[in-house]
């Protein structure tokens, strides 16, 4: 029972982080400003994950591929 609750919480957190990474990619693709509240939230949630990935995965053209990975 406890294992199922922990598994469900971890699944939800992973889904939210993946969703915000995709939202960040879409916001960069559409060139939406990150100075608005939604952009600041997306930037704060995903920045800790994407900065180390950018060292390994280079950008392709104008697309930030680290957000998709």
Dist. CA 49–CA 55, nearest whole Å: 11
Condensed to tens digits (0 to 9), the pLDDT of residues 7-57 reads 999 999 999 999 998 998 888 888 888 899 988 999 898 888 888 888 888
Residue 2 confidence (pLDDT) above 80: yes
| Predicted TM-score of the model (pTM) | 0.79
3-state SS class at 60:
strand
Task: Between 28 and 66, name the one with better pLDDT.
Answer: 28
Dist. CA 17–CA 3, nearest whole Å: 21
Cβ-based neighbours of 29, under 8 Å, separated by 6 or more: 63
Looking at residue 10, its pLDDT comes to 97
Residue 64 confidence (pLDDT) above 90: no
């Amino acid at each position: 029972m406890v294992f199922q609750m922990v598994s469900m919480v971890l699944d939800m957190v992973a889904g939210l982080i993946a969703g915000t990474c995709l939202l960040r990619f879409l916001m960069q693709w559409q060139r939406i400003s990150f100075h608005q509240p939604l952009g600041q939230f997306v930037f704060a949630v995903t920045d800790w994950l994407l900065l180390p990935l950018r060292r390994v995965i280079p950008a392709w053209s104008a697309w930030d591929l680290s957000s998709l990975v």
